[in-house]
Chain A
Amino acid sequence: MINNVPFFAVMLLIAIGLYTILFKRNLIKIAMGIVIVEAGVNLFLITLGYREGGLAPIYTHLPSGVEIPGGLVLPVPQALTLTSIVIGVAILALILSFVVRIYRHYETLDSRNIRRLKE
């Protein structure tokens, strides 16, 4: 049960994020929603990579005769998470710069009032 806690956290984070994106009107909050979903997905990736008793794969050549109970952990999920975090920062920066521009043009952050394209 305790091992599954991270997965519940993942579901909760993604649900909160989706709720924020769908139902909040403030553009900053929508940006925050995306970051929360992203945190959930990253947590999911990193949890997948966890092996109990495993060792970080720092040795390139293990000394012979040494037994590691959990073995070495495959570093792929960690690498994926790092990449995803970097991409997330870029996306967030882009969204926030758009928000700044929108605020200058419309003088509001309420998405209901930002609909020049709808007319």
Chain B
Amino acid sequence: MDWLLTHAPALLIALPLLGAFLTPLIDRISGKARSAFVLVVLAATQLLMMALAWDVFTQGAHIYTMGAADPTATVPAQAAVPVRIVLQVDGMGAFMGLISVTVSLAAAVYSLAFMHRESGQGRFYTLLLLMVVGMLGMEFTGDLFNLFVFLEVLSIASAALIAFRFYHGDAVEGAIKYIVISSLGALMVLLAVALLYGQYNLLNMGALASVLEYTYLDKVALGLLIAAFAMKCGAVPMHMWTPDAYTVAPASITAMLVAASQASLYALFRICFSLYGFTLDLTTVGIIIIALGLLSMFIGVTMALPQKDIKRLMSYHAISQTGYMLLGVGVGLYLLAHADFDTYGIRAMEGGIFHIINHALYKGLLFLTAGAIFYKVGTRNLDEMGGLAHSMKYTTVFFIIGALAIAGIPPLNGFASKLLIYESAYRVSPILSIVAMLVSILTLASFVKVFHSAFMGPRLEGMGDGREVPRSMLVGMGLLTAGIILFGLFPDWVVSNLVHPAAQALADQAAYIAALGGGV
């Protein structure tokens, strides 16, 4: 057990990676065996992730040095600086890893029935597992160049999955937008990494953080990194790829893309807090992040209101919800060096980080219900559907729970995290909270519209076969719903045991540097 936990960070990346490349081979034997294999791999990843997260939250951060005789020694005996590839799992990393793996598992279970009419499922699950690799790699790595590599792994796998239904022209159209923008973004990340490496000869983020001087070149690198990752997480004004890609991807993949964009959000926060930290001009960068958040929230929701395509509407809501996370954590960054950080700065960060997991759960669930509707009705246009509540009882209940959670209605989980953000952002400026509340109301309005036009009304002809979707899709949605209800009922437990350690891990740059062997 100890051996397993020591090597867990590396195993968590290796397990889905090996699973991904075994999947096409097993697919040649039989489709059933392949599906069972994928589920076993993901379930094993989930169990290992939960064990690792438990250990991180009770015992402290994990360090894993690739290829070292002693995985906890980041600086090799012959060298003065950490030169090896290091994985580092602290509260924040474990928290994000849990989100990614949980959403992926639910999406894979859902796909069993959702994708069974498609050909090429072996490739689908291979890419799905590669997405898990990319997300976990981005969340665990302590090395800047590795961050770039895993970002590309994630982008390539996601782009191929967005275009999975390539026989629809629009799927390829969404995918090419995504891959052009994200490969350009990744190249900017690489340029920033090169700028930092050229000055300090280091790639290890902890060691780099300890020597960073915030020179002019560092500022250029910071700008490139913030722009690239804000683009990848779909913040306005770099959001134009999000609705296209989210709309055309298969629904289970859209749910995973939400988790994938949060991995980029994590990278953005990691770079601001752990890499640059106190050397930053905290006020300016904090205001930039808050401004990105406000813009995303407001423009996202106003663009969502007139949409007729159910998944496009939800995609704009995804942008708007990303704004809440940027706002919460941005307020934390703004106040990082301030005396009030311990009173309400950290509360704002907790709100933002709590919102990440809540959003992954309810937005994942909402995209899965949209997929269930598409599976039965064959259209995404809200004007053409109606009366689905008659035939799809469970889907209706899941949709209501998801919609109430995203609108922040108590006692569901969206309320808990939004309240934390309202309370603490108010102390910085009341305008922030007012905008946040307004956006929340508009979100509710928009989902009332979706609920009314898709589920209410008389039974319509041609609306599916009058039966509920297959069981595996219900199980996938049920998994996420259970999470929403649990998190909504016990927010205090979640905040003090999961979210607070995660926020603390982000805010405490000294611990990060020490853990990664920097400052020698």
Interface residues of A (CB under 8 A from B): 14, 21, 27, 30-31, 34, 37-38, 41, 44-45, 48, 74, 76-77, 80, 83-84, 87, 90-91, 94-95, 98-99, 101-102, 105-106, 114-117
Residue in A45, A95, A101, A117 whose beta carbon sits within 8 Å of that of B179 in the complex: A95
Check B175 against A34 for contact (C-beta < 8 Å): no
Check B194 against A98 for contact (C-beta < 8 Å): no
* 14 more A-B residue pairs beyond the given contacts A45-B194, A83-B145, A91-B155, with a C-beta to C-beta distance below 8 A: A34-B180, A34-B187, A37-B184, A37-B187, A41-B191, A44-B191, A44-B194, A94-B159, A94-B179, A99-B176, A101-B172, A102-B176, A106-B169, A117-B244
Interface residues of B (CB under 8 A from A): 83, 145, 148-149, 152, 155-156, 159-160, 163, 166, 169-170, 172-176, 179-180, 183-184, 187, 190-191, 193-194, 197-198, 201, 203, 244, 247-248
Check A41 against B184 for contact (C-beta < 8 Å): no
Check B179 against A91 for contact (C-beta < 8 Å): yes
Measured between beta carbons, the chain A residues less than 8 angstroms from B247 are 117
Check A117 against B174 for contact (C-beta < 8 Å): yes
Measured between beta carbons, the chain B residues less than 8 angstroms from A115 are 173
Looking at chain B's contact residues, is the secondary structure mostly helix, strand, loop, or mixed?
Answer: helix
Check A87 against B149 for contact (C-beta < 8 Å): yes
Check B156 against A117 for contact (C-beta < 8 Å): no
CB distance from A9 to the nearest CB of B (A): 14
The A-B contact count (CB < 8 A) is 84
Most buried by A among B149, B155, B190, B203: B190
- Chain A residue with the shortest CB-CB distance to B193: A80
Check A102 against B173 for contact (C-beta < 8 Å): yes
Check B176 against A105 for contact (C-beta < 8 Å): no
CB distance from B176 to the nearest CB of A (A): 4
Check A34 against B172 for contact (C-beta < 8 Å): no
Check A21 against B172 for contact (C-beta < 8 Å): no
* A-B CB contact pairs (8 Å), 20 listed: A14-B191, A34-B184, A34-B187, A38-B187, A76-B197, A83-B149, A91-B155, A94-B156, A94-B179, A95-B179, A95-B183, A101-B166, A101-B169, A102-B169, A102-B172, A102-B173, A102-B176, A105-B169, A116-B170, A116-B173
Looking at chain A's contact residues, is the secondary structure mostly helix, strand, loop, or mixed?
Answer: helix
Measured between beta carbons, the chain B residues less than 8 angstroms from A105 are 169, 172
Residue in A14, A48, A87, A98 whose beta carbon sits within 8 Å of that of B175 in the complex: A98
Given A38-B187, A117-B247, A95-B176 contact (CB < 8 Å): yes
Measured between beta carbons, the chain B residues less than 8 angstroms from A106 are 169
Check B244 against A95 for contact (C-beta < 8 Å): no
Check A95 against B180 for contact (C-beta < 8 Å): yes
Check A114 against B173 for contact (C-beta < 8 Å): yes
Residue in B159, B170, B198 whose beta carbon sits within 8 Å of that of A117 in the complex: B170
Expressed in whole angstroms, the Cα–Cα distance for A80 and B183 within the complex equals: 16
- Chain A residue with the shortest CB-CB distance to B176: A98
Residue in B156, B163, B175 whose beta carbon sits within 8 Å of that of A91 in the complex: B156
CB distance from A12 to the nearest CB of B (A): 14
Measured between beta carbons, the chain A residues less than 8 angstroms from B203 are 76
Most buried by B among A27, A30, A48: A48
CB distance from B382 to the nearest CB of A (A): 15
Expressed in whole angstroms, the Cα–Cα distance for A83 and B46 within the complex equals: 29
Check A48 against B194 for contact (C-beta < 8 Å): yes
- Chain B residue with the shortest CB-CB distance to A42: B190
